[in-house]
Amino acid sequence: MAVLCRPAIAVPEHVVTLEETLALATRLHTHHPQLGLALRLIERTGVRKRHLVQPLEAVLAHPGLAERTRRYEAESKARVPAVVERALANAGLGVRQIDLIVYVSCTGFLMPSLTAWLINTLGFRPETRQLPIAQLGCAAGGAAVNRAHDFCTAYPGANVLIVACEFCSLCYQPTDLDIGSLLSNGLFGDGLAAAVVRGSGGTGIRLERNGSYLVPDTEEWISYAVRSTGFHFRLDKRVPHTMAPLTPALRALAEQHRWDAGGLDFYLVHAGGPRILDDLSRLLGVPAAAFRFSRATLTEYGNIASAVVLDATARLFEERSAVDGQRGLLAGFGPGITAEMAVGSWTGSGGRQGGDRLVGQRVPDAAGAVR
């Protein structure tokens, strides 16, 4: 049965704190009629700092879509190999043992996908299958886990590499001044993650059932307006209330597996904001501490889009509290409004599997070259 092994996480070296964000918003939007509201909303996110792929001054200077795409390609090629190598090491596998690469990102566009470059550069087999996912936003982290689970179910013994690469700062739009945009400027951060789903063996979360649910008539609540200047993020004020219609879907998935969604041992969910976690705690009837992994991601990195669920999963490994048979829920939420959900149980010794967090570093390959 498919096992989600310990993820590898990396964040860029440039940091912006909450205090710097608030000061910057005040300086840039002194005369905005809703500046006070925007500042209060940013403070309530719980985000203490975020990591950026460029210095803040470069983020604020919009060079155009072409230059941002060039930057996305250069930074992803410079940073993704290190997290891939650590994820493979965490799973005890080599590149030749991977049968499918699922690459998720909603903050940059390349064709062919980065999967082709990874196969050619890192030595994966030419037969390795590719599954790029670009339009599920923050839900794509959960979708990647679920598609890996499906693949391993269809091809027993196969292994899948998941890669999430999100440079949200490359989507900053200085002319977008609505409250949703101002809030997003203080919420989203940059981050990368990779993890392996093994078709057999491995320590981690044994994936047992997955599902998807779309809240009817909400496709405009989270969206991109694609213009000549790039992706313009749109966030409806009703988004924080989406846990009310999504919680029954989480309960239904668990019930299909004869589990109670409110009685599990660990929860790894997308932390789009503190309201989502607070509402889930109340609606599922579980302690706020049940979402400590997701809340820690939000506090330390901000919303890193599709990489959130993998970072929360990595924190479960780091805590080393899980024991064989403990049951849990993994879920990503994003545009649609869509939930990608999975339930599974812990398997293995629960011991440390390497894979320390990486901040602004490069990992040398076997020949000593630094990627």
Domains of the chain, earliest start first: 3-202 (3.40.47.10), 204-347 (3.40.47.10)
pLDDT digits (tens, 9 = 90+) for 173-204: 998 888 888 898 999 999 999 999 999 999 99
> What sign has the CA pseudo-torsion 269, 274, 278, 280?
negative
The full DSSP string for 86-122 is: HHHHHHT--GGG--EEEEE-SS---SS-HHHHHHHHH
Beta strand pairing call for 129-133 and 230-235: unpaired
103 strand-pairing partners:
132, 163
DSSP state of 240: G
CA–chain centroid gap for 114, Å, is: 17
In what helix (H) or strand (E) does residue 104 lie, and over which residues does it extend?
Answer: strand 100-104
For residue 328 the two structure tokens come to 């849990």
pLDDT at 235: 81
Q: CA 39, CA 34: separation in Å to the nearest integer?
A: 9
In one-letter notation, the amino acid at residue 25 is: A
Q: CA 129, CA 119: separation in Å to the nearest integer?
A: 10
pTM to 2 decimal places: 0.91
In one-letter notation, the amino acid at residue 101 is: I
Residues with catalytic annotation? 138
* Contact assessment for residue 311 and residue 9, using Cβ atoms and an 8 Å cutoff: yes
pLDDT at 361: 38
For residue 242 the two structure tokens come to 């989406």
pLDDT digits (tens, 9 = 90+) for 289-323: 999 999 999 999 999 999 999 999 999 999 999 99
Q: Which of 74-88, 128-142, 224-238, 264-278 has the lowest mean pLDDT?
A: 224-238
pLDDT at 366: 32
Q: CA 128, CA 52: separation in Å to the nearest integer?
A: 31
Phi, psi (rounded to 5 degrees) for 240? -60, -15
For residue 5, give the nearest of 193, 210, 265 by alpha carbon.
193
Q: CA 215, CA 245: separation in Å to the nearest integer?
A: 7
**Exposed / middle / buried, residue 368 (Cβ in 10 Å: 0-12, 13-18, 19+):** exposed
pLDDT at 364: 32
Average pLDDT, integer, range 154-183: 94
Higher pLDDT, 234 or 297: 297
For residue 334, give the nearest of 262, 242, 226, 250 by alpha carbon.
242
DSSP state of 15: E
pLDDT digits (tens, 9 = 90+) for 332-363: 999 999 999 999 999 984 333 434 445 443 33
pLDDT at 101: 98
Q: CA 99, CA 109: separation in Å to the nearest integer?
A: 23
**Exposed / middle / buried, residue 269 (Cβ in 10 Å: 0-12, 13-18, 19+):** buried
Q: Which of 73-82, 214-223, 304-313, 321-330 has the lowest mean pLDDT?
A: 214-223
